[in-house]
């Protein structure tokens, strides 16, 4: 856990971008706007309706201008120092990473595979990570592609770590040839890895048009007679990190899940998928932190988890006061100018006031906040207050809130009390994981009402 010594340099800092010259300019503009409105009001009686319309438009403009200027008044951003993490934190916390996909046509499986590969390869101890992909399309093709990708991960992840590759989504990384200055060993490994990635792409492409492989393996039996909106829960542990040495230890757990869907049950789209991801990961790994990434994105920074941990674990910021860490999104395939305005001006402005807004993807949350805790429920040392213990841990409450699965309730209690997860093998939780995939979890419990759906969008805790 985090070292409390204050003599060590901080894990992250808030950088302020206050600009007094800009503030004077803004105050001058505000003065002009007020004088204009005052002028309109004073001469209102002597003019016609055009004057009134002009007054209304200028008032509206002034209001919007004032709103935006107040947001931008004290811009700030957070700078993290992941290189300091190892000397400050001796036992890094676990992180469960979630990817949601819903449609193998609109979201090509090779892209989802790249998202998965970029997450499996992040710079973080692999035994502290687990990646869960939720497939609302219940697509055997997506499952096939991800399974193949997890085989390729055993080449890709060691390659990225050995050469400290920055972009860890192979489809982006292999766009550029290696620099001429690279060693011959690197060039050789680069060629081999690229060839293996091309083989993976080809296998996925071939499988797209031809489904004979569906019958060839028992593993795909669960997908027979399923429709995207009518099927039972599927949970498959594709790769389990059981420790050991070398490659075996370098690739994090990877679990494929597809929750039950029935035509007469609303499934709550991504929010429903996220609920199921939280439940299954709670049963299997129960990490205190969770990362949520859309399937058409990838982690473009290998240190992303370490950066988030710098912010969560920075003592001076009080880790209990931090509910989520949101990373900005960048687009590689569209004009990003409008995003610069959003992120550099408004994003930094909001970060200066309290913290960024939740953007739906690229966000780390603490599990306890997802289960309903707020700052008021915690003592200074992060333990549950006695009032919160009565409120959250009462047996009848737990079943009503989280459902009738005993294993689920146990995992929630352990997460709320910050107990380390006992090291079970993932396969031991398969039956319980199937159970929490039922549609009724979204109806007879708080999952479909407040857990996640409420917390994601109304969390009051900041960074
Ligand atoms: O029934 C569904 C529908 C969508 N998704 C997934 O949800 C994500 C976002 O859906 P998308 O259709 O791509 O929405 P966007 O408008 O592109 O996404 C933005 O807006 C959403 C909220 O409206 C956020 O949840 C997203 O994170 C944010 O990137 C994707 O990974 C989908 O695969 C599901 O898992 N199940
Ligand atoms: Mn999208």
- Give the confidence band of 320 by pLDDT, cuts at 50, 70, 90: low
What is the atom index within ligand 1 of the atom nearest the CA of 267? 1
Ligand 1 pocket test, candidate residues 97, 102, 119, most atoms within 8 A of CB: 102
Q: Which of these, 231, 280, 222, 272, lies nearest to 253 by C-alpha position?
A: 280
Q: Where are the domains of the chain?
A: 19-73, 86-463
Which atom of ligand 1 lies nearest, measured to the CA of 294? 31
Per-chain mean pLDDT for the chain: 89
Report the pLDDT averaged over residues 385-401: 85
At residue 391, does pLDDT exceed 70? yes
The more confidently predicted of residues 26 and 45 is 26
pLDDT of 185 reads 94
Tell me the per-residue pLDDT of 13-41, one tens digit each, with 9 for 90 and over: 989 999 999 999 999 999 999 999 999 99
Confirm or reject: Cβ of 295 under 6 Å from ligand 1.
yes
Q: Is the pLDDT of residue 133 over 70?
A: yes
Distance 198 CA to ligand 1 centre (A): 28
Question: Residue 231's pLDDT is what?
Answer: 96
pLDDT for 345: 78
**SS3 sequence, the chain?**
CECCCCCCCCCEEEEECCCHHHHHHHHHHHHHHHHHHHHHHHCHHHCCHHHHHHHHHHHHHHHHHHHHHHHCCCCEEEEECHHHHHHHECCCCCEEEEEEECCCCCCCHHHHHHHHHHHHCCCCCHHHEEEEEEECCCCHHHHHHHHHHHHHHHHHHHHHHHHCCCCCCHHHHCCCCCCCCCCHHHHHHHHHHHHHHHHHHHHHHHHHHCCCHHHHCHHHHHHCCCECCEECCEEEEEECCCCCCCHHHHCCEEEEEECCECCCCCCCHHHHHHHHHHHHHHHHCCCCEEEEEECCCCCCCCCHHHHHHHHHHCHHHCHHHCCEEECCCCCCCCCCHHHHHHHHHHHHHHHHHCCCCCCCCCEEEEHHHHCCCCHHHECCCCCECHHHHHHHHCHHHHHHHHCCCHHHHHHHHHHHCCCCCCCCCHHHHHHHHHHCCCHHHHCCCCCCCCCCHHHHHHCCCCC
For the CA atoms of the chain, what is the radius of gyration? 25
Between 90 and 258, where is the model more confident?
258
CB-CB contact of 290 with 95 (8 Å) = yes
Q: What is the mean pLDDT of residues 259-275?
A: 93
**Among 126, 89, 125, 77, CA closest to 312:** 89
Query: Which residues does 170 contact at the CB level (< 8 Å), separation at least 6?
Result: 114, 117, 152, 156, 193, 197
Ligand at minimal distance from the CA of 294 is 1
Neighbours of 164 (CB within 10 A): 8
Q: Which atom of ligand 1 is found nearest the CA of 297?
A: 31
List of residues 6+ apart from 138 with CB closer than 8 A = 223, 226, 227, 228, 231, 234, 258, 261
- The response to whether 419 counts as a known ligand-binding position is no
Confidence tier at 319 by pLDDT (50, 70, 90): low
Among 294, 295, 437, 452, name the best residue to mutate to test ligand 1's pocket (greatest count of ligand atoms within 8 A of Cβ): 294
Question: Would you state the pLDDT for residue 453?
Answer: 44
- This model of the complex carries an ipTM of 0.96
* pLDDT for 456: 37
The ligand 1 atom at the shortest distance from the C-alpha of residue 134 is 35
- Cβ pair 172, 134 in contact under 8 A: no
Could you report the per-residue pLDDT of 216-255, keeping only the tens digit for each?
Answer: 678 899 999 899 999 999 999 999 998 877 777 899 999 9
Average pLDDT, integer, range 152-164: 97
Cα–Cα distance measured from residue 462 to residue 397, given in angstroms and rounded to the nearest whole number: 27
Cα 319 to ligand 2 centre (Å): 31
Residues in the chain, total = 463
The CA-based dihedral angle spanning residues 241, 242, 246, 248, taken in that order and rounded to the nearest 10 degrees: -50
234: tokens are 């599927």
Minimum-distance ligand 1 atom for the alpha carbon of 107: 33
Q: Give the span between the Cα atoms of 50 and 55, in whole angstroms.
A: 9
> How close is the Cα of 121 to the center of ligand 1, in Å?
23
Ligand 1 midpoint to CA 453 (Å): 13
Per-residue model confidence as pLDDT tens digits over 191-225? 999 999 999 999 999 998 776 766 667 889 999 98
pLDDT recorded at residue 8 = 80
Q: Which ligand is nearest to the CA of 101?
A: 1
For 51-106, what is each residue's pLDDT tens digit? 999 999 999 999 999 999 999 999 998 899 999 999 989 899 999 999 999 999 99
- 236, β-bridge pairs: 256
Q: Which positions ≥6 away from 278 have C-beta within 8 Å?
A: 98, 290, 367, 370, 451, 452
The rounded Å distance from CA 266 to ligand 2 centre is: 21
The residue with greater pLDDT, 47 or 3, is 47
Share of the chain above pLDDT 90, in %: 63
Mean pLDDT of 401-416: 92
- Domain range 86-463, CATH class: alpha beta
Give the ligand with the smallest distance to the CA of 228: 1
Average pLDDT over residues 328-353: 78
CA 106–ligand 2 middle distance (angstroms): 10
Q: Please name the residue whose Cα sits nearest to atom 34 of ligand 1.
A: 270
Q: What does the alpha-carbon distance between residue 364 and residue 96 come to, in Å, rounded to a whole number?
A: 9
For ligand 1, say whether the CB of 270 is within 6 Å of any of its atoms.
yes
pLDDT at 461: 29
Q: Does the CB atom of residue 294 touch ligand 1 within 6 A?
A: yes
In the block, residue with structure tokens 């071939």? 206
CA diameter of the chain: 87
On whether 294 is known to bind a ligand per the annotation, the reply is yes
295-330 exposure pattern, b = at least 16 Cβ within 10 A, e = fewer:
bbbbbbbbbbbbbbbbbbbbeebebbebbbbbbebe
Q: Is 102 in the pocket of ligand 1 (CB under 6 A)?
A: yes
Which pair of tokens denotes residue 199?
């083989």
Looking at residue 337, what is its pLDDT? 66
Q: What pLDDT shows up at residue 357?
A: 81
347-377 pLDDT, tens per residue? 889 888 877 888 889 999 999 999 988 888 8
Predicted local distance difference test score (pLDDT) of residue 460: 27
Nearest CA to ligand 1 atom 11: 294
Among the bound ligands, name the one nearest to the CA of residue 111.
1
Beta bridge partners of 95: 129, 289
CA–centroid distance, 294 to ligand 2, in Å, is 7
151 is in an annotated binding site: no
> How high is the pLDDT of residue 182?
85
């Amino acid at each position: 856990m985090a070292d409390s010594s204050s003599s060590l340099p901080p894990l992250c800092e808030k950088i302020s971008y206050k600009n007094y010259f800009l503030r004077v300019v803004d105050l001058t503009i505000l003065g002009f706007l007020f004088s204009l409105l005052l002028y309109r009001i004073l001469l209102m009686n002597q003019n016609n309706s055009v004057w009134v319309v002009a007054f209304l438009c200028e008032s509206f403009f002034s209001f919007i201008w004032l709103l935006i200027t107040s947001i931008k008044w004290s811009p700030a951003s957070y700078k993290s120092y992941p290189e300091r993490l190892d000397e400050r934190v001796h036992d890094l916390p676990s992180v469960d990473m979630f990817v949601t996909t819903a449609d193998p046509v609109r979201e090509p499986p090779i892209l989802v595979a790249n998202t998965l590969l970029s997450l499996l390869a992040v710079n973080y101890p692999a035994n502290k990570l687990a990646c869960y992909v939720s497939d609302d399309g219940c697509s055997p093709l997506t499952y096939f592609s991800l399974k193949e990708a997890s085989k390729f991960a055993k080449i890709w992840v060691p390659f990225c770590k050995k050469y400290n590759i920055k972009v860890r989504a192979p489809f982006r990384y292999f766009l550029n040839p290696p620099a001429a200055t690279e060693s011959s060993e690197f060039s050789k490994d680069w060629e081999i890895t690229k060839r293996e990635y091309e083989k993976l792409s080809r296998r996925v492409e071939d499988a797209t048009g031809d489904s004979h492989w569906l019958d060839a393996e028992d593993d795909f039996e669960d997908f027979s007679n399923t429709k995207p909106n009518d099927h039972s829960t599927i949970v498959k542990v594709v790769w389990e990190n059981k420790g050991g040495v070398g490659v075996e230890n370098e690739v994090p757990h990877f679990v494929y899940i597809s929750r039950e869907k029935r035509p007469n049950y609303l499934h709550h789209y991504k929010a429903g998928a996220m609920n199921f991801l939280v439940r299954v990961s709670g049963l299997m790994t129960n990490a205190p932190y969770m990362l949520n990434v859309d399937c058409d994105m990838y982690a473009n920074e290998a240190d992303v988890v370490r950066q988030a941990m710098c912010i969560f674990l920075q003592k001076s910021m009080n880790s209990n006061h931090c509910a989520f860490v949101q990373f900005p999104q960048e687009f590689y395939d569209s004009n990003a100018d409008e995003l610069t305005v959003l992120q550099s001006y408004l994003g930094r402005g909001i970060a200066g006031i309290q913290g960024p807004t939740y953007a739906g993807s690229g966000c780390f949350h603490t599990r306890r906040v997802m289960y309903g805790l707020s700052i008021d429920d915690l003592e200074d040392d992060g333990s549950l207050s006695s009032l919160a213990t009565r409120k959250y841990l009462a047996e009848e409450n737990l079943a009503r809130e989280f459902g009738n699965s005993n294993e689920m309730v146990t995992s929630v209690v352990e997460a709320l009390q910050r107990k380390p997860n006992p090291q079970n093998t993932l396969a031991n939780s398969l039956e319980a994981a199937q159970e929490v995939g039922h549609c009724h979890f979204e109806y007879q419990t708080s999952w479909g009402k407040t857990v996640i759906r409420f917390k994601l969008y109304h969390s009051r805790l900041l960074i």
